[in-house]
C-alpha cells in the first residue's frame, strides 16, 4: 500500500480507539449504576434497572445504532455526530451486559459480610463502598475483560453510518486496491493486536486489585498473637 492509504488506515485505528474509550467509559458507568440498582432494597428501583437491562440486552447493537443515528434526529429535531451516536448506542447496549456482571459479583459476596456491616450500623452506601465493592470489583475484571474485547469488535458496526473507523477505512482501501485478502488480513491483525494489549492491561489491573485480598497472616505475626493470647489467658483452657 502507498503511504496515503496507510495514513487512511491509521486514522481509522485512531477513530476506533477513541470510540472504544468513550463507549467503554459510558458502558462502565451504566454497568455500575444499573448493576447496583438491581440489588437495591426497593422493588421499583430493581424493576426500572431490570427493564433497562432486558431492553438493551435483548436488542441488536446494529439496530440501536440505526435508531440513534437515523430515528432520533427527526423525532427530536437534533442530530448527533457519528462519534457520539456510536458511543451512545454501544455504551448503552454493552452497559446492559455489564450490569449483570456487577449484579452477579455483588450477590456473590458472602452474606455474612453484609450482616457484619449492618451490625456495625453502616449505612447502605457505606456497606456498598467499604465492604461489597472492594470484594466484588476484583471478581468483575475477567468478565469485564471479555466484554471489552466484544466492545472492540462491536465498534466495527459504526461503519454503517459512514464513520471513518478501522473497518470503514479498510473497506475504502480494499476498493482502491481491489485486494480483499491482503487488506482484510491486515485488519484482522490490527484488531488482534489491540485486543491482545487490552487483555494484558486488564490482567495487570486484576492482579493489582487482588493484591492483598485474602492473604494469610504472616507467620511471625500469627505466632506473636498466639503467644500474647496464651500469656494473657485468652482462649486458654481451665487449669
Which pLDDT does position 238 carry in this prediction? 40
Task: State the average pLDDT over residues 29-54.
Answer: 93
40-43 long-range contacts (CB < 8 A, ≥24 apart) are: 41/124
Closest CA to 15 of 152, 135, 113, 128: 152
Task: State the average pLDDT over residues 64-77.
Answer: 84
**8 Å CB contact between 215 and 172:** no
| pLDDT for residue 231 is more than 60 | no
Distance CA 105, CA 146 (A): 15
Which pLDDT does position 1 carry in this prediction? 61
Average pLDDT along the chain:
84
pLDDT band at 219 (very low <50, low <70, confident <90, very high): low
Task: State the average pLDDT over residues 11-34.
Answer: 95
pLDDT digits 0-9 by tens, 143-157: 999 999 999 999 999
| pLDDT for residue 227 is more than 70 | no
**8 Å CB contact between 93 and 185:** no
Which pLDDT does position 106 carry in this prediction? 92
Neighbours of 143 (CB within 10 A): 16
Task: State the average pLDDT over residues 60-85.
Answer: 86
DSSP 51-77: HHHHHHHSS-HHHHHHIIIIIHHHHHS
Distance CA 215, CA 221 (A): 13
| pTM for the whole structure | 0.82
Which pLDDT does position 125 carry in this prediction? 86
Which residues does 38 contact at the CB level (< 8 Å), separation at least 6? 46, 49, 50, 53, 99, 100, 102, 103
**Lowest model confidence (mean pLDDT) among 143-147, 159-163, 184-188, 212-216:** 212-216
pLDDT digits 0-9 by tens, 91-128: 999 999 999 999 999 998 888 887 888 788 788 888 88
Which pLDDT does position 236 carry in this prediction? 44
Higher model confidence: residue 213 or residue 23?
23
**8 Å CB contact between 145 and 202:** yes
HSE-up (13 A, CA, CB side) for residue 201? 11
**8 Å CB contact between 198 and 133:** no
| pLDDT for residue 239 is more than 60 | no
C-alpha cell at 39: 440489588
Which pLDDT does position 130 carry in this prediction? 85
Amino acid at each position: 500500500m502507498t503511504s496515503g492509504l496507510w495514513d487512511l488506515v491509521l486514522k481509522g485505528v485512531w477513530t476506533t480507539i477513541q470510540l472504544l474509550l468513550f463507549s467503554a467509559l459510558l458502558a462502565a458507568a451504566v454497568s455500575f449504576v444499573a448493576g447496583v440498582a438491581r440489588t437495591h432494597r426497593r422493588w421499583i428501583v430493581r424493576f426500572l434497572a431490570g427493564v433497562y437491562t432486558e431492553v438493551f440486552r435483548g436488542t441488536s447493537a446494529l439496530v440501536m445504532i440505526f435508531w440513534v443515528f437515523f430515528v432520533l434526529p427527526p423525532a427530536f429535531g437534533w442530530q448527533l455526530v457519528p462519534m457520539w451516536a456510536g458511543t451512545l448506542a454501544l455504551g448503552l447496549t454493552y452497559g446492559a451486559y455489564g450490569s449483570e456482571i456487577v449484579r452477579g459479583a455483588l450477590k456473590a459476596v458472602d452474606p455474612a459480610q453484609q450482616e457484619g456491616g449492618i451490625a456495625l450500623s453502616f449505612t447502605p452506601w457505606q456497606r456498598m463502598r467499604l465492604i461489597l465493592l472492594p470484594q466484588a470489583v476484583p471478581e468483575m475484571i475477567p468478565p469485564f475483560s471479555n466484554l471489552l474485547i466484544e466492545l472492540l469488535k462491536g465498534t466495527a458496526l459504526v461503519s454503517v453510518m459512514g464513520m471513518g473507523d478501522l473497518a470503514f477505512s479498510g473497506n475504502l482501501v480494499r476498493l482502491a486496491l481491489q485486494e480483499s485478502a491482503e487488506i482484510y488480513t491486515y485488519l484482522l491483525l490490527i484488531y488482534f493486536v489491540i485486543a491482545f494489549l487490552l487483555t494484558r492491561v486488564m490482567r495487570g489491573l486484576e492482579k493489582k486489585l487482588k493484591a492483598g485480598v485474602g492473604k494469610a497472616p504472616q507467620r511471625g505475626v500469627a505466632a506473636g498473637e498466639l503467644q500474647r493470647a496464651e500469656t494473657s489467658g485468652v482462649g486458654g483452657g481451665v487449669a
